[in-house]
Chains A and B, each alone.
Chain A
Amino acid sequence: MENNRKVLFSIKDLNVKFSLRGQMLHAIRGISLDIYEGESLAIAGESGSGKSVLMKNLIGLLDKNGRIESGSIMYNGKDLAKFKNEREWRTIRGSQVAMVMQDPMTSLNPLKTVGWQVSEALRYNQNKRGNEAKQCAVEILADVGINDPERRYNQYPHEFSGGMRQRVVIAIAMACNPRLLICDEPTTALDVTIQAQILQLLKELQAKYNLTMVYITHDLGVVANVADRIAVMYAGDIVEIGTCDEVFFNAKHPYTWALLSSLPQLGERKSDLFSIKGTPPNLFFGVRGDAFAVRNPLPMAIDFLHRPPYFQISPTHKARTWLLDPRAPALEPPEQIESIKDI
């Protein structure tokens, strides 16, 4: 990917902490990330790695017990990390950043018609009301692939199937006319057959409206087809980031290797599915060295002592692991991931 594209969001050295039962949980540990205009970026990692928390910072929906300890999030010349009140956030939400949540069964208000809920988004973001809003909402519903939108406009969410509801949620996000659309595991709650359709829809909408997309996922297989770049998160930090091809075929971080190894491969019957031993570190206590060291099958002594810096592999590819240090012994990635040819 060319390196001179316009940066939309620039996150610099972001630290987020949560106070939980009187203790401080360090959920985001110094992340820097640029989101380019028009790209689609996937953030992958296991549950609790901080991928959702990271993105919630862009829309001001951090849970009440969490706060930004340090760092900045630059957007349009403004630092979102300094935003204090709802009034400031309302300049961002909807019209600049929208989000599609995981579970379409619970993300729509059961007592309002689908059309009303789309129109509400139009009203507060595009200042369209009454008939104009209705017309526009019907168009958007048709746009996200809902048949007979005039009739569907007046129906309630319980009259829609799961896949159709997710289309409605996407329609609501589109009605906000955002520049950045965050998709928080948009297909996790759906049937596998529907997943592909929804991803295809998101891809089409992105092309049509020149959206910038961020996919949050724990399933690398899901994003392989839609993402330009992949950021792999572990324990509140991005351990590796690169283009889709670089992460899939030239991964450098042992955690990325482990993630890729655990992808089920069609037609492979030889062995059990790979799983990563151990549990992620407890973020209530400070993490020393490389957070993944304790689960790494072949750790080095330095992994337990010092946090690795980023090593640049290509202009678009970098990873945080001591393995890339010139003094480190050469270590080949596990053979399981050699078999990943196409996803």
Chain B
Amino acid sequence: MLAYIVKRVLRSILSVFIIICIVFVLLRMLPVEGYFGGRYDLLTEEQRQMELYRMGLLDPVPVQLFNFLRQLVTEFDLGLSSRIRVNVPVTTVIADRVPISVQFGLISVAIGMPLGMALGVMMSRKKGGVWDKAGTGYVAILNAVPAPVYMVLIQLYGTMLLGAPLTFRFDSPMSRVLPIITMCLPIIAINAFWMRRYMVDEINRDYIKLAQIKNVPTTTIFFRHVFRNAVVPMTNLIPLSILGTIWGQIIIERLYSIPGMGGLLIDAILARDNALVQALVIMFSAIGIFGLLLGDLLMAFVDPRIRLHKKGAAR
């Protein structure tokens, strides 16, 4: 087990390193305006070259990459923002936005995931039954309708019916209700979908039949054998979907003017804030890899076939 964890962690670190290198090299191709903020047009060509030289941007790319990595590791320095918040370290810019996204994301996942899994379980109990049909309809509609459509509709009618505020305010709990409901909908759908699928897989297993043969009560079989085993592949999904919910709410955060992470990358790209774009792209990929890692570790924790595998190899 320990060997497996160490190996898996090392592999993830290697992946992150490779991604940083690739992203860094690619982003060297961005137009250099992005490093000057609003001053680009005011400077002469010589002044621009001076400034680029001072920032080390005229060095060969490998040297730049090495300096970047050194600063990242030693001081956790990802450079300065040039347009979104002028001359503020990008780590600060990002850190200020993280808590609110984390808050919304975690609450939505905490509500949506159990609901989705419960719906999936209900759907799996009777194939073609009322729950199954209703649930399948829900998943299908939610996937077929473009997300902005139902998001806007919820905002429109939600504010009318519930009297909830149209935009987010830190001091108003009510203003969090509609964004959270909106975030929950796809979480419920995806979890219900996978849960149902894994439950149905399990129900048809031979060992469920053997449990019946050995006279285990139906509800006990359902929870102790079917549900327990169906959760295993779900655990692989959980970390990534949590992280995705936290960082991925671009439209919803825009709609309700929530100062979260979601819109930041787009803002940075539009504003040509090179250092911030670079930091965000690296961060998103690192988070993705971290999510996969966490999923695999959780899976190893619940599945003895991985946990006890002598060579510690991933299956």
Report which A residues bind B (CB closer than 8 A). 59, 61, 86, 90, 93-95, 98-99, 101, 103, 106-111, 120-121, 124-125, 156, 158-159, 169, 172-173, 175-176
Question: A111–B209 contact, CB under 8 A?
Answer: no
A-B contact pairs, 15 of them (CB 8 A): A61-B209, A90-B217, A93-B215, A94-B213, A106-B205, A106-B206, A109-B211, A111-B229, A111-B232, A120-B216, A156-B304, A156-B305, A158-B305, A175-B214, A176-B214
B228 within 8 A of A: yes
Nearest CB of chain B from residue A183's CB, rounded to whole Å? 12
User: Which residue on chain A has the smallest CB distance to residue B210?
Assistant: A107
Question: A94–B210 contact, CB under 8 A?
Answer: no
Pick from B213, B217, B225, B228: contact of A99, CB below 8 A.
B213
CA distance A124 to B216 in the complex (A): 6
Give chain B interface residues in 7-54, CB to chain A under 8 Å.
none
User: Which residue on chain B has the smallest CB distance to residue A110?
Assistant: B305
B96 within 8 A of A: no
Question: B308–A172 contact, CB under 8 A?
Answer: no
Pick from A95, A101, A107, A159: contact of B215, CB below 8 A.
A95
Question: A101–B218 contact, CB under 8 A?
Answer: no
> 8 additional contacts, CB 8 Å, given A61-B212, A109-B211, A176-B213?
A61-B209, A99-B213, A108-B207, A110-B305, A120-B216, A121-B215, A158-B305, A169-B210
Query: Which residues on B sit within 8 Å (CB–CB) of A61?
Result: 209, 212-213
B267 within 8 A of A: no
Question: A111–B206 contact, CB under 8 A?
Answer: no
Once A93-B215, A125-B215 are accepted as A-B contacts, the answer to whether A111 and B228 lie under 8 Å apart by CB is: yes
Question: B210–A93 contact, CB under 8 A?
Answer: no
Question: B213–A98 contact, CB under 8 A?
Answer: yes
B59 within 8 A of A: no
B201 within 8 A of A: no
Question: B217–A107 contact, CB under 8 A?
Answer: no
Query: Which residues on A sit within 8 Å (CB–CB) of B214?
Result: 93-94, 98, 120-121, 124-125, 172-173, 175-176
Nearest CB of chain B from residue A244's CB, rounded to whole Å? 27
Query: Which residues on A sit within 8 Å (CB–CB) of B228?
Result: 111
CA distance A260 to B303 in the complex (A): 47
Question: B215–A90 contact, CB under 8 A?
Answer: yes
Question: A108–B210 contact, CB under 8 A?
Answer: yes
Nearest CB of chain B from residue A188's CB, rounded to whole Å? 13
Query: Which residues on A sit within 8 Å (CB–CB) of B232?
Result: 111
